[in-house]
Amino acid sequence: MIRIALAIVAAAALAFVPDAAAAKARARAVAKDWSKSFSVTPEGGFRMGNPKAKIELVEYGSLTCSHCRHFAETALKPLVAKYVRTGKASYEYRSFVLNGIDLAATLVARCGGPARFFPIADELFAKQPLWLGKITDAESEKLNALPEDQMMLGVAKAAGLIPIAAAHGIPAAKAETCLKSETAADELSKMAQAAADRGVEGTPTFFVNGKQVPAHDWATLEPFLKDAGS
């Protein structure tokens, strides 16, 4: 009888192993930090989060836009903590370049791909008044006199953008190459045109699950995220 009992216990233990493994797998899936997952979308945007998330948030933004700066400083933390990190939502940033300074800043920020873009963009928004303030009227005249293929590099140097990129792992030589890239500039131009075709007229403009929503900050945007996730 003792041997039979031991055999039953052993069989029960073996039967429990798959359940335990499955539980661990589920725990790992729940614990995954989706805010560390980055990708490039077919539209050329940079996405953070679960590409199969139920909620898809797209922002059309500009690095020289003060309202975009306000959103970055006040909304990104709760957005990432409550929605992106947990896998409920993905957040995609599509550049809507507004001017020459914006173009230079965007070329630098995108130079290292999506994983480096978001922290660089965060710093550029945080320091926006400082680097924008370096491009004075007198400086603009000097920059406009440069050959076209040197202009973006000149803007980046004058604004102090290259050291910011270097602090996030983008060597100066690579940043300069990105600033001179006609292909990269053309991609941004096409992205802006595609945005205009969707009705985007300014920044920031938000789309939730493909639909433009009348939001401009966290207070007005989150209700649309909640509705999309319900």
Indicate whether 13 and 50 sit together in one domain.
no
Q: Which domain holds residue 7?
A: 1-31
Indicate whether 10 and 107 sit together in one domain.
no
Indicate whether 27 and 37 sit together in one domain.
no
Is 17 a residue whose pLDDT tops 50?
no
Indicate whether 40 and 121 sit together in one domain.
yes
Is 19 a residue whose pLDDT tops 90?
no
Q: What total number of domains does the chain contain? A: 2
The C-alpha atoms of residue 25 and residue 19 are separated, in whole angstroms, by 10
Structure tokens at 136: 């004075």
User: What is the SS3 assignment for 100?
Assistant: helix
Check residue 22 and give left, alpha or beta (phi > 0: left; psi -120 to 50: alpha).
alpha
Is 89 a residue whose pLDDT tops 70?
yes
CA distances (Å), 43 to each of 29, 100, 230, in order? 28, 22, 27
Indicate whether 16 and 103 sit together in one domain.
no
Return the ∠ at Cα 135 (arms to 132 and 138), rounded to 5°: 155
* Tens of pLDDT, residues 127-146: 999 999 999 999 999 999 99
Residue owning tokens 């102090």: 160
pLDDT bracket for residue 2 (50, 70, 90): very low
Of 63-67, 141-145, 159-163, 173-177, the one with minimum mean pLDDT is 141-145
Indicate whether 38 and 21 sit together in one domain.
no
pLDDT bracket for residue 91 (50, 70, 90): very high
Indicate whether 81 and 109 sit together in one domain.
yes
Indicate whether 125 and 27 sit together in one domain.
no
Q: Is the peptide bond before 78 cis (omega within 30 degrees of 0)?
A: no
User: What is the SS3 assignment for 76?
Assistant: helix
Indicate whether 225 and 141 sit together in one domain.
yes
Ordered DSSP codes for 115-173 = HHHHHHHHHHHHTHHHHHHT--HHHHHHHHTS-HHHHHHHHHHHHTHHHHHHTTT--HH
* Tens of pLDDT, residues 159-170: 999 999 999 999
The C-alpha atoms of residue 37 and residue 141 are separated, in whole angstroms, by 42
The C-alpha atoms of residue 214 and residue 27 are separated, in whole angstroms, by 37
Residues 23-41, mean pLDDT to the nearest whole number: 77
Indicate whether 92 and 13 sit together in one domain.
no
pTM of the predicted model, to two decimals? 0.86
Indicate whether 7 and 97 sit together in one domain.
no
Indicate whether 14 and 82 sit together in one domain.
no
